[in-house]
Amino acid sequence: MTTGGAQQADVAGMPQALMASDGREPLIAIRDLKVHFDLGGGSKLERLVGGSGVRRVVKAVDGVSIDIFPGETLGLVGESGCGKSTLGRALLRLTEPTGGHAFFRGRDLAGLSKRELRQHRRHLQMIFQDPYASLNPRMTVSQIIGEPVETFRLARGRQEREARVRELMQTVGLSPRFLKRYPHEFSGGQRQRIGIARALAADPDFVVADEPISALDVSIQAQIMNLMERLQRERNLTYLFISHDLRAIRHVSDRVAVMYLGKLVEVADAKVIYRDPLMPYTKALISAVPVPDPEIEAKRERIVLQGDVPSPINPPPGCRFHTRCPWAVEACREVVPPLAEIKPNHFAACIRISPEEPDIERVAPSDAPGLRNPGRVIEQ
Amino acid sequence: MMSGDNGNLLSVRDLRTYFETEDGTVKAVDGISFDLKRGETLGIVGESGSGKSVTNLSVIRLIPSPPGRIVSGEVLFHGQDILSLPAEEVRRIRGKRISMIFQDPMTSLNPFMRISRQLMEITQLHLGHTREQAYEHAVRMLETVGIPEARARVDSYPHEFSGGMRQRVMIAMALSCEPELLIADEPTTALDVTIQAQILELIRKLKEETGTSVILITHDLGVVAGMTDDIIVMYAGKIFEQAPTRELFAAPGNPYTKALLKSVPDPVHEEGTDLYQIPGLPPDVAHLPPGCPFAPRCYHAEEVCRREFPPFVQLNAEHFSLCHFAGEVYAESRAERDARGGATPSGANVEPSENLGAVDPSENPTQGGAGR
């Protein structure tokens, strides 16, 4: 997944690895994107006073490459601290990337000036997780939704703007009667609708939805997911849907990308990845999702991983998952596994599997000696 | 029904807990009754404001008063009414015979105290341990809940532990005195999926080893499906449905439960269709409509639902539903279940479920073999 310098501005010449086989042009093309946060440390002085003497760098996003195609929903899933939100924010340059590229219709967003970026932002919008924190409490709904309309001059005059706000409110299922109300007068689900209306106000092509349903009640989650799907159909939107909720991701996504400690470890069609996960981390993640069916729960085998996700500060070398992987061998400590096409359009980062033998269970039965075999808990 | 034990560790009878607010009286819990047998796990499911947490805070008498007030009811623990005991005696039960785990371990642990001291306090107080005994016990408890290098880490402060580890510490504290009843209020909601799996596994294992009864409060139907023997579904301070877990999932007898089950994406049976969505908002418990509180959102509601409060209908020996049309809904669910061919999903969907983790020895010989 390396990107040569010569390929930077040329979409057609970008690495083909993640292109769909039908040759569609991606709407968003991410190439070797990096967001590193330098926490300092590692100075001589620190070593003198007995510190570790190691520079601490959080590699929140560390070389991510993927395409997002027009009209699709790419689900981005991972546990807290894996960098999925940072990736979403870096795409819109809400967090500045420290390396790599993100192309929108062939233009590299990373190279845009502030002014050019602002014009592009119209096409790139975001829905945030916390509908309580992401709306200005001192602005009315009309002002909140009307702001992008004004910023991007999408309406002439106050009346036209207000008409547009009313229309947007109806689109997301809010009564225009609430035009002059403030965010605190709404429930969580309604606030998320306001956030969605604001994102739509600029008539975007691409929306990053960062955990849009996590803060909502179960019965409201379905409402928001259905709303987002309807809007996608009506407006031909492209979504990057970020969530830790694998059930929601499975429901809304066309393709799913799994992230672990700053890197993509598996990318595949949503149905396929749930039925046939290849990379050991994805296997564990999917087996850990509780299924709302007691019959299945009673029979399931779960891969219960030992230990916690390691700190993203100076993450483990080699495959970042090797510290928890039941199938890891010595080489996993040293080799950074590339995201390789193991099956057609199914990419996984694991050196132990290959197109010839994609099943880790067959490569290494659970009782085979490995680097670390804590044993998987098997339930009956 | 009113008296003593009958194999029940806990019997809650007609519990009502109200809160006085600016908005008027909020009937957070309004006439709840249930039994918990020894060694069993009861799941209480509901959305925010359903009263599931208040029910359990009432059981251990931790309702802040004012504004809260337990208006009536009985909480029989071993046949003894906790609600009428002197505060001193409740304190002796709480933390020793009944203990709790809360959603957010960071707010339940004292950030200024070493883990060791927080664990030692409990056994010094309840079991009369000496400092040395309590310290050893603390180390042993951390080992029990799977904290690596427990002895080296027992003197850490809570902030030095990750979220999953803190929740383990909470569980270690809760189980220190081998309680007869463990109340876990959304114990995994703040945790990641793989850590959630670890914690649920741990609770299940400890339950098997110690025979502790568990009340598991959650909004996640997936979590209760695999963990509980019986389930109570709460809405607007009332029990809407009560049944053994398998029965509830296979043939729900209440429209709210049915709608809730249909509105959760199920990665196993998913067919790419629109999710069923419950219209409207969770109720404002301070201003409930007359009649059934779910009627404004219910696909089955008729005139009578908006007018009259529904009856609590017994559908079979252990299955109850609060609904004017409980019988019809139940019959409908059973017909749907039979149409699906018993409790298994339709043929086209069986394959994905196997690959999602159901053991199939013919397909994964190594896994199946190790499991048996």
Residue A8's pLDDT is 36
**ipTM of the complex in this document:** 0.76
* Structural domains of chain A sorted by starting position, each given as residue range(s) with its CATH number in brackets: 5-41+56-268 (3.40.50.300), 276-371 (no CATH)
Q: Using one digit for the tens of pLDDT, what is the confidence trace for B83-134? A: 999 999 999 898 889 999 887 777 788 989 999 999 999 999 999 999 999 9
> pLDDT of B8-35, one tens digit each?
899 999 999 999 888 888 899 999 999 9
> Which residues of chain A make contact with B294, given a CB cutoff of 8 A?
none
B286 forms bridges with which residues in the sheet?
none
Whether residue B347 lies within 8 A of chain A, CB to CB, comes out as: no
| For residues A289-305, average pLDDT | 84
Q: Which residues of B touch A290 (CB under 8 A)?
A: 196, 200, 220, 222-223, 225-226
pLDDT (tens digit per residue) in A37-54 = 888 777 777 767 766 667
Four-point Cα dihedral A143, A144, A148, A149, nearest 10: -40
Please answer yes or no on whether B370 and A219 come within 8 Å at the CB atom.
no
Residue A367 has pLDDT above 60, yes or no: no
Interval A114-139 mean pLDDT: 88
pLDDT at A365 (0 to 100): 61
In angstroms, what is the C-alpha Rg of chain A?
22
The CA distance from B168 to B165, in Å, is 5
Quick: pLDDT tens for B325-351. Answer: 999 999 999 998 888 765 444 333 333
More confident position, B350 or A170 = A170
**Which residue of B lies nearest to A299 if distances are taken between CA atoms?**
B358
B297 vs A contacts (CB less than 8 Å) = 219
pLDDT at position B341 is 67
Note whether B188 contacts A: Cβ–Cβ < 8 A: no
| Cβ-based neighbour number of residue B179 at 10 Å | 22
Least confident of A76-85, A176-185, A370-379: A370-379
Asked which of A13-17, A358-362, B111-115, B313-317 is least confident by mean pLDDT, the reply is: A13-17
Residues 6+ apart with CB under 8 A from A157: none
The B residues from 278 to 297 touching A (CB cutoff 8 Å) are: 278-279, 281-282, 297
Backbone phi and psi for residue A90, each to the nearest 5 degrees, phi listed first: -65, -30
Whether B268 sits inside 8 A of A297 (CB atoms) is no
Question: Is B227:B205 a contact under the CB 8 Å cutoff?
Answer: no
Give yes or no for B61 touching A (CB within 8 A): no
Cα nearest neighbour of A228 on chain B: B274
Contact B197 A244 (CB under 8 A): no
Mean model confidence pLDDT for chain B: 84
Structure confidence at residue A371 (pLDDT): 42
Yes or no, beta carbons of B226 and A298 under 8 Å apart: yes
Q: What confidence score (pLDDT) does residue A261 get?
A: 93
B163 close to B190: Cβ distance less than 8 angstroms: yes
Nearest chain A residue (CA) to B161: A308
pLDDT digits (tens, 9 = 90+) for B211-270: 899 999 998 888 999 899 999 999 999 999 999 999 999 999 999 999 999 888 876 665
Q: Of B194, B275, B358, which has the smallest distance from its Cβ to A300's Cβ?
A: B358
- Chain B residues near residue A192 by CB distance under 8 angstroms: none
Q: How far is CA B106 from the centre of its chain?
A: 20
Q: What does the pLDDT average to over A328-352? A: 93
Task: State whether A79 and B192 contact (CB < 8 Å).
Answer: yes
Tell me which of B318 and A21 has the higher pLDDT: B318
Tokens of B6: 């009958």
CB A204 within 8 A of CB A238: no
> What residues in A contact B366, CB-CB < 8 Å?
361, 365-367
Answer whether 0.80 is exceeded by the pTM: yes
- For residue A366, the chain B residues in CB contact (below 8 A) are 366-367, 370
How far apart, in whole angstroms, are the C-alpha atoms of residue B77 and residue B97? 10
Q: Is pLDDT above 80 for A14?
A: no
Q: What is the pLDDT of residues A50-76, one digit of tens each?
A: 666 677 888 899 999 999 999 999 999
Query: Residues 253 to 282 of A: which have CB under 8 A from any B CB?
Result: 271, 274-276
Is B370 within 8 Å of A189 when comparing Cβ atoms?
no
Question: Nearest CB to A294: which of B246, B266, B359?
Answer: B246
Mean of all residue pLDDT scores within chain A: 85
Q: How many CB pairs under 8 A join A and B?
A: 183
What integer pLDDT is reported at residue A299 of this predicted model? 83
In chain B, which residues have their Cβ closer than 8 Å to the Cβ of A247? 222, 264-267
- Per-position DSSP letters for B231-293, written without gaps between them: EEEEETTEEEEEEEHHHHHHS--SHHHHHHHHHS--TTT--SPPPP---S----TTSPPSS-T
Q: Residue A16 — pLDDT band, cuts 50, 70, 90?
A: very low
